[in-house]
Amino acid sequence: MLANSLRWTALTLVLLTLAGWLKCASAQETSFFDRSLLADPSIVFSPTSGDEIETDRDSFTPATTVVGHHKTIVEAAYSFIDNPSSRETHSFPELLVRYGVSDRLEIRLGWNYETGGGGSVSGNSSFIEEEPLVDEIENDGDLLYGLKLFVNEQAAWLPQSSLIVQANTPTSGSLNTTQFTLCYVVGWELPNEWTIDAAMRYSATAEEEDHFNLWAPSVVLKVPVGTKYKAHLEYFGIFSDQQATAQTSQYISPGIHYLITPDLEIGIRVGWGLNGDSARFFSNVGAGWRF
């Protein structure tokens, strides 16, 4: 039942965006195409975050924007996870390099290393909720590679959205299966400059002979505090489907990030598990640089 509900949620997000796009395209007033698209495409199409950096690592929910043509963003972070039934997890460097090959498309390459127990709270790393025995120590590295495509700009109630297609291939550790992930993220900027972003991730993966699906819904509210700070409050969950032993983890997570310059930011977020399968507590601190 839960897996079916998550599938319908993901399908609803896609259909709402498509319906809104069609409505805007056919409207006669201030429509998606009526706003001087041919005269000035940037009025309608503005996929980047303007004059300041916006990383994917600030929250589990990635940004709706892309890097921008011939620009690069380098992101890195460290996560600490207090697991309920195994050793704590240390995750570093959660490195992600994003390069804009066009205004709409970026390529992504990254690497991460985890030691301790299982589990992940980083949206950029493999999010298999693996829990080894208490006395076991897992040491896992994985290579990330993929693409991010900007789909559309916000127009009235039609949200801004992007699609991420990526894979995580193990470079060390007990896992030997590449994990493919699709992520669709949508977002709305409110009149008071608050933003609400929501995402749905889907991944097909395996542990030994156990093949299963993972669904990871998330939603985050971002609130600017002055001109340099932005605070957020986020919910995200990771739900397995068709796994031999079903696993479900859910979190509530506040965070804040600070713009040192328009191209350099640092941020921290913490979180608490909402059910027995979740980590008791996690913290994540990192930075991003655009050039």
- In Å, how far are 5, 154, 228 from 45, measured between CA atoms? 33, 9, 26
pLDDT in tens, 225-236: 998 999 999 999
The residues that bridge with 106 in the sheet, in sequence order, are: 100, 148
pLDDT in tens, 91-134: 999 999 999 999 999 999 999 999 876 667 777 666 555 544 44
Separation of alpha carbons 69 and 57, rounded Å:
20
Q: Which residues does the chain have with pLDDT short of 70? A: 1-50, 117-119, 124-138, 206-210, 243-244
Considering the entire predicted model, what is its pTM?
0.79
Domain map (residue ranges) of the chain: 72-290
pLDDT in tens, 254-267: 999 999 999 999 99
The closest alpha carbon to 255, from 223, 210, 227, 280, belongs to 223
Task: Report phi then psi at 46, rounded to 5.
Answer: -140, 80
Architecture of domain 72-290: Beta Barrel (2.40)
